[in-house]
Structure 1
Amino acid sequence: MTDTAENSPIDGTVLVVNAGSSSLKYQVIHPGDEEVVADGLVERIGETTSKVTHWYRGDEVKRECELADHQAAIALVLELFQDSGVDIAESGLSAVGHRVVHGGRSFSQPTLIDEKVRSEIERISPLAPLHNPPNLVGIEAVSKLLPDVPAVAVFDTAFFSDLPAEAANYALDREVAEEYAIRRYGFHGTSHEFVSQLAAEFLERDLADLNQIVLHLGNGASASAVRGGTPIDTTMGMTPLEGLVMGTRTGDIDAGIVFQLSRVGGMSIDEIDKLFNKQSGLKGLCGENDFRAILERVEAGDEDADRAYRVYLHRLRRYIGAYMIELGRVDTIIFTAGVGENAAPVRADSLADLEGYGIVIDPERNAVRNGEPRRISADDSRVEVLVVPTNEELAIARAASSVARSAR
């Protein structure tokens, strides 16, 4: 029997959608009590065999089938809910929250999606050609199947939309920069905002009084300097390529290398793009971008892995130092995301020998692993060093729910 909105466990929840070029991640979340009702991943959309993993209230279903496009993937997800006795279209969803990577200069807040918003997301897609088009496909697919549920776009760049001019602008000809919308946009904003707020709650401090350095370290990685809850700088730039060394991305690199690879190496722009985004970073340095495997190789004395690790740390420490200067006073340093939350050696090594700056790691606290916000600094450390698990899906759900309520 199909649940109604009155008794459905999905009543009041938000469906969070993150559509990639050939994938679809989703969660159904109660934004108030943070309960995850459902979670799933559809992979290899458009290929001969698509893979689906769907979890709903303790029951997991796995399927392999052919899904031609994202609309077919969404239709299958709704069917899986139906098999569990839930007609998700009639079950009281309060909103659908769509992750959209790039908001350009157009979007600085979560935004209710209409035709005008769809058109604008499409217009600025050249700023994120690998991300925004599939995000838009996901929006279109879900809207066709759930037309009566408010859809909200939550932008990765929104948190950084008001960076100070000195941080946002590149030293490029002003007219060229203006014509092609070239500036620092920043990414992972949903995560940076979420963990900086949660850190203030954990410390029982007023967010407005805190100077924070947030280190979002995953396969994609970024750092930010946050003063009083407002970011003043971040490492990612016009695209998610700039900044820290990442799993497969170069991070900061001399732009002249592009000229060298093109003029001398005969490489096309597309080849260079692929090299910088998918074949570089840790993978390019040692052939591996799984941090657990890299640390194992470092322990075993592997020279390539050791070099890659040292390059990674060098870049990370450089930005930590820069942000300490920019902020003037640092109250807390936060580690988050997959590597930041789980790789104790990275945390210890990135902040090693900084006692003179009031930063002291407690080895025993740093070795603890759990899913809760926790302090890893020593009692005599002037700077609070924290591990704060990120939850971008919850942040998107809260934002979408708030926008949907305001629109009623």
Structure 2
Amino acid sequence: MDRTAQARRAADAVARRSYGKLVAFLAAAMHDVAAAEDALSEAFATALADWPRNGCPANPEAWLLTVARRKGIDRFRRHRNGEAAAVQLRILAEIEESAVAEGDDAAIPDRRLALLFACAHPAIDAGIRAPLMLQAVLGLDAKAIAAAFLASPEAMGKRLGRAKQKIRQAGIPFAVPARDELAGRLDGVLEAIYAAFAEGWSDPGGTDAIRRDLTAEALFLARLVAGMLPQEPEALGLLACMLHAEARRSARRTTAGDYVPLAEQDVARWDAAMIDDAEALLLRASRLGRIGRYQLEAALQSAHVERCRSGRTDWTPEVQLYDALLVLSDSPVVALNRALAIAELQGPQAALEIMDALAADGRLVDYQPYWAARAALLARTHACHDARHAFDIAIGLAADPAVRRFLQGRQAALPG
């Protein structure tokens, strides 16, 4: 491998591993998320020019942070003046290079949690808080974030830009707020972590390095929040939900890489210790006496585990949990999953009637699981022509080749 390829590979690895940590550290000093992102982007560009000539540094995170700090200082000098700029320049200049010039990146203070809560400040529109966290802390681009929130990339990009401008103009502090201020911000932080985990979860085989690292990062942040707030049941519930899902990762693919739906998974391949940890967290959360969305999500995961392990065929517990979750979330995705649970309880026709009503929600038009679920239900009612059409759409929308092959197999099995 030539030195240019080595440098790019090293830069990509740092971006996956430490992007959020570096942005959070810089943003805390600059009080400007966009400026921190720009400075770090310039530092990466400098690295791709410098590292092929001089070799990759022993501590690339520290190298990038030092260069980004200097880029930030240059940017402030060019574009800002007055007392406020002087204060920011002094803060940037006082960042201890010696703290990150030696050793490993553990020397860099981790400000990600502070950045998460800054993005969840009441001055930021509630609807953009979670997307802003996904971009600022986890490095997702506007297109990926838009897909996660069923929005257009153009609209999402504009909203993210306005939110970053608001942080700078309002002088929002980059710090974990006092306990009496947490209630108004915690929901947004948890939503962002869950969305990040879901994005990483879309690569069940762990073949996409970016998504694999995203899952690990989301679990790290969830543990961080739950550890900091052990009396917040929703923080515990979110971590329990994520651990339940992660425990099944190895069972979602055969050794040949083929997709395996939940009902057909080998429960022996589930991570029993991780499931036990999830159950313990869910029990702790329930004892705090404040039910919420993530506890219900975790309870649903727990019910699925119990049903698959025991062979229970009655889906009443799942439907009841989905009923409660739909009241709290009013989410079309929850409504879709509820319809699938009702199909097991009342039959596919009852579920299709619900899905017909859901079709009016424009957010589901390009939602691949909607069309896959609709195709499977239509097949169960022997509406083969309509099922084949729904399968065509689901296959076209499937980004995962293994899921695409699975759907093609189910479509090919239709009579006629």
Q: Of Structure 1 and Structure 2, which has the larger fraction of its residues in helix?
A: 2
Relative to the length of structure 2, the TM-score reads 0.30
Which is richer in strand? 1
Higher relative contact order (CA 8 A, sep 6+): 1
TM-score (norm 1): 0.30
